[in-house]
A and B are shown apart, each in its own frame.
Chain A
Amino acid sequence: MAEDFQSPQEAGSQEPSRKDFIILASGAAAAIAAAGGAVPFIRSMQPSLDVEAERFAEIDISEVPEGKVTTFEWQGKPVWVFHRNAEQIALAANPPKPSKDPKSKPDSERALKPEYLIVVGICTHLGCIPLYEGGAKEEWKAWHCPCHGSQYDMSARIIAGPAPQDLEVPPLEYLSDTTVLIGEA
């Protein structure tokens, strides 16, 4: 409403002055220009193209011994390939304790092939790397995090501790029986 605008210089006048208009318009233009100008500066701090090139990794899982975990690197993060034995598969399929993660998925959806569980080995609490114990202390427990004590089961689901989610299953695709492509297509 035009009546709402009143500059102190023109108290009494009901019309916004030419000066008010210019101040508002130039102020708005400067703000938009500043916001636009900030985009390249903020964008320049995003991962650069050479870093982006590491979005994918192709790994060969044939060498992973049964009952053991081998660490591969993807995006600079450790990716674990856990070659599970029959007992471990059974414990993963019927876990004795439930996951704390409300969005937790059953083992059949986490491991495309039951023998191979492939997860990002970074604790979902604050990014530490959990240590493998493979059921040595308690039969269901495969990993514990040394930082704040989160505990993960044979399907790398969060059972106890401060971590909010199960270990992440990265986007992956079996290129052959032994080759896996990790990363979003």
Chain B
Amino acid sequence: MAEKGSLSRVYDWFDRQLPVTELMENHATKYPTPKNLTYWWNFGSLAAIFLVIQILTGILLAVQYKNDPTLAFDSVQRIVRDVEWGWLIQPMHAIGASFFFLVMFIHLGRGMVYGSYKSPRALLWLIGCALFMVLVIAGFTGYLLPWGQMSYWAAQVITEVFSAVPVVGQTLVEWVRGSFVVSDATLSRMFTYHIVLVPILFIMLTVVHISALHKVGSSNPTGVEIDKKEKDKFATFHPLTTAKDAWFGLLVLMVFFAFVFFAPHYFTPVAQFIEANPLQTPPEIVPEWYFLSMFAILRSIPEKLLGVVALFGSVGILFFLPLLDRSPVKRAFSRPIFRWGLLLFFLDFIYLGYLGTKPPLGANLVAGQIATLYYFLFFLSLPLVTWLEAKMAAKKGAKDE
């Protein structure tokens, strides 16, 4: 029977007018991925899984949420108590944010260990950094919406940061808040950014990120680019990578749902259960865990403007990584100085996070200043490290001959 079934005729009808087969072949069934990728390479697709979770649960939450200071706090309580399945959807979104950041940190760290920011993937890295910044904005704007005490005061502190800008500082703060303090105007705009601007930017940048990835291809654990002609070193994205992603994704989702079911408030500070009160600061303002390191950097510098510059610089400097590190060696393990520097950087980042939970006094303040200094020194010393490593390699080469 040469005649085609009705299903495949429908498919053909689409395929004639839309590049369906072409897209599927280019990006899945014929897209080559290196066979030697480890599970560290799964965190990109994990980020995509959490993006989907955030968007789906986010839409359902936005349907029920009221973005008005007099109603917002109760509307979230109502979602959890009265809305059908709200008890599941609200914690999925809140815990999902934490997991999204965790996955993003590991994904960024993987990129640093395996030189994924180096040629030919510099642009891919830059788009990824932009995605990270959008995630930061998503985290910040979203945290205000439950309108708890910590929501309110975290927003107050972070918007006040703009007042450090010389001359126009105060005007800028009022422009960002739409008011003199965080208020109705601020809540409305943050809600709008969170449900309109953030998803649009995130989805657009994700498409661009994947397009750039599929143009240059994945990096791999050896740090040596694999020649496209060595066909036996590649497998098609589907079914190898899709199977791996699905299995690993399910594994992480198990942990995720363990939090959602059994510890839905694990990441929520006590003050979040009190409605925002503009006339009373909670005794301690601590940001969400994923902002702790940046928070520690801000606090460790006693000069206001410099502190704010360091805060933005701590994220902004990621964009300059391809420029600062010009070493041709991609894999950190193959570099005698960089590998220790990078290990120390990761430990430093975690330590800064720990310091973010402590009041910046006495020994903690000094420790915070040293950790902040190393955070930036790691990046800024990269040209020197590269130069030293090149010298060491030349010396070793001469000895071997």
Contacts and interface: CB of A to CB of B under 8 A. Distances in A.
A147 B178 contact: no
Contact of A147 (B157, B159, B177, B307): B157
A26 interface: no
Q: Which range contains the number of B residues in contact with the other chain?
A: 20 to 34
Nearest to B305: A164
- Residue among B153, B179, B284, B307 facing the most chain A CB atoms (10 A cut-off): B179
B279 A51 contact: no
Would you call the interface of chain B mostly helix, strand, loop, or mixed?
loop
Contacts of B159: 127
- Residue among B153, B180, B278, B283 facing the most chain A CB atoms (10 A cut-off): B180
A146 B299 CA distance: 14
A54 B185 CA distance: 13
A42 B160 CA distance: 19
Interface in B159-187: 159-161, 174-181, 183, 185
B6 interface: no
A170 B223 CA distance: 61
A146 B283 contact: yes
A130 B280 CA distance: 9
A137 B180 CA distance: 33
Interface string A24-46: 00000000000000000010011
- Residue among A42, A73, A126, A128 facing the most chain B CB atoms (10 A cut-off): A126
A166 B156 CA distance: 19
Contacts of B175: 42, 45-46
Contacts of A148: 299, 359-360
Interface string A141-152: 000011111000
Nearest to A128: B281
B326 to A, nearest CB: 33
B304 A45 contact: no
A8 interface: no
Contacts of A162: 299, 302, 304, 307, 360
A89 B337 CA distance: 61
A131 B281 CA distance: 9
Contacts of B178: 45-48, 51
A185 to B, nearest CB: 17
B279 A71 contact: yes
Nearest to B300: A162
Interface string B333-377: 000000000000000000000000001110000000000000000
A127 B180 CA distance: 11
A51 B179 contact: yes
B305 to A, nearest CB: 9
Nearest to A162: B302
Interface of A: 42, 45-48, 51, 54, 71, 73, 75-78, 125-131, 145-149, 162, 164
> Considering the complex of A and B, which 8 residue pairs feature the smallest CB-CB distances, nearest first?
A127-B160, A75-B180, A129-B281, A76-B181, A128-B281, A126-B157, A146-B283, A127-B156
30 contacts: A42-B175, A45-B175, A46-B178, A47-B179, A48-B178, A48-B185, A51-B178, A51-B179, A51-B180, A51-B183, A54-B180, A73-B279, A76-B181, A126-B160, A127-B156, A128-B156, A128-B281, A129-B280, A131-B281, A146-B284, A147-B157, A147-B284, A148-B299, A148-B359, A162-B302, A162-B304, A162-B307, A162-B360, A164-B303, A164-B304
